[in-house]
Structure 1
Amino acid sequence: MNFRPLDREDVKPLQRLFMESLSDLIRREQFEDADLLDEEVERLNTTVQDSFEDETVQIFVVLQGDVIVGAAAMLPPNDIIAAHVDIEPNVPEIGCMYVSPTSQRQGVGHFLIENIKLQLSANGQTAFYLDAGFPTSQDYWEKRLGPPVLTLDHYWGTGAPHKIWRCTTTEKET
């Protein structure tokens, strides 16, 4: 696997990864919100554009051969995190993390987060925030990072929490 910053020629393949991953996630989660996929893809595409115009937004991709199989962004904490956590200076969010459905459970996510942590350390950053609203994403992160620092019960409706983590770059995944 190869980890590197996003290049302009990666935009179309990355958009396909987002669409494929989100479609799979929404199907598995059995969400019935018809607009959710379009809203999430639009948000991700905005982040991609921001990465070319704003130095505080960086996107990294993981390739197997010449195929993008994963991606994640380092960016300022999103509105949900900022509204519920006292944001520390120089502590970014790790967000927009997606792995191709055909590459899941093959170490791509682990490889991606470990390389992001190395990048943060190289930038002199010692911690990061991460949040999740999808139940399967929350389960994954709880297994990898331990319990969240904050659970916003019923954030997305009855029985649908949103979870926020604050991690250091030196913490080992569980």
Structure 2
Amino acid sequence: MNEKNQCTIAVLTMADYETTCQVFEESISDAFNKEGIGHLQEDIQSEIDDKKKKALSSLDQANSDTCFFIAKINGTVVGTISYGPCGEAIQICAEHQLDHLGELGSLYVVPRFQGQGIGSVLIKEMMTFLNEQGIEQFCLDSGYQRAQIKWQRKFGKPYKVVKDYWGPDSAHMVWLCNVSDHLK
């Protein structure tokens, strides 16, 4: 990321909701295509719709238990990250051992901005927020093989690996992490 493309992080607002939805549409479709499962249009749309719904519900700050941050470059939303209740996939894969923890999720960066450190900036901002809230641990998961490689580098060995979760040779991984390990 060069200086003219300064990245700023903010809490999602209604003013940025539509462009945040575009981030989901572009990055989730891209992830499915790069995973070789781009033909699963119904699954792609279901994932996009789920993220849109979570983002929209986070805007009701009085009743929401989910927080969304967005990354902007030159005023345009290029990435997202969220923290909220432990999701169903983690509950199932971790045999309900992590249900009491919050989940780091919805980390998406528009493909043309990937590899520029935006995801890392979003994670760092979320870790600072969680630390300020007194939250010491979180969990996260991924079924995307490409993301699993990145998460293993960033978060270490997964807490649980469920082989063939998404079909033959398609594992789902769950991480249990300490906030303090990722504040640096």
Which category describes the TM-score, using the shorter chain as reference length? over 0.9
Secondary structure of residue in 2 paired with 1:130:
strand
Secondary structure of residue in 2 paired with 1:68:
strand
CA RMSD of aligned residues (A): 1.4
Cα deviation for residue 76 of structure 1 reads 0.2
Which residue number corresponds to residue 79 of structure 2? 70
Residues of 1 paired with 2:106 and 2:35: CA distance? Answer: 18
Unaligned runs of at least 5 residues, structure 1: none
Which residue number corresponds to residue 4 of structure 2? none
Residues of 2 paired with 1:172 and 1:70: CA distance? Answer: 19
Which residue number corresponds to residue 19 of structure 1? 25
Amino acid aligned to 1:34: Q
Percentage identity across aligned positions? Answer: 24
Cα deviation for residue 55 of structure 1 reads 2.6
Single out whichever of 51-60 and 154-163 deviates more from structure 2. Answer: 51-60
Unaligned runs of at least 5 residues, structure 2: 1-6
Contact 2:158 2:175 in 1 (8 A): yes
Residues of 1 paired with 2:73 and 2:165: CA distance? Answer: 36
| Alignment match of 1:154 (pick from 161, 164, 181) | 164
Residues of 2 paired with 1:172 and 1:18: CA distance? Answer: 25
Cα deviation for residue 172 of structure 1 reads 4.2
Amino acid aligned to 2:45: D
TM-score, length basis structure 2: 0.89
| Alignment match of 2:14 (pick from 1, 8, 12) | 8
Cα deviation for residue 144 of structure 1 reads 1.1
Pairing 1:102–2:112 present: yes
Cα deviation for residue 64 of structure 1 reads 1.3
Q: Output aligned runs, 1:1-174, within 5 Å.
A: 1-31=7-37, 32-53=39-60, 54-85=63-94, 86-87=97-98, 89=100, 91-172=101-182
Secondary structure of residue in 1 paired with 2:122:
helix
Q: Do the aligned partners of residues 172 and 47 (structure 1) sit closer, same or farther apart at CA in structure 2, a change above 3 Å counting?
A: closer
Residues of 2 paired with 1:6 and 1:34: CA distance? Answer: 27
Residues of 2 paired with 1:160 and 1:44: CA distance? Answer: 22
Residues of 1 paired with 2:45 and 2:31: CA distance? Answer: 13
Cα deviation for residue 63 of structure 1 reads 1.1
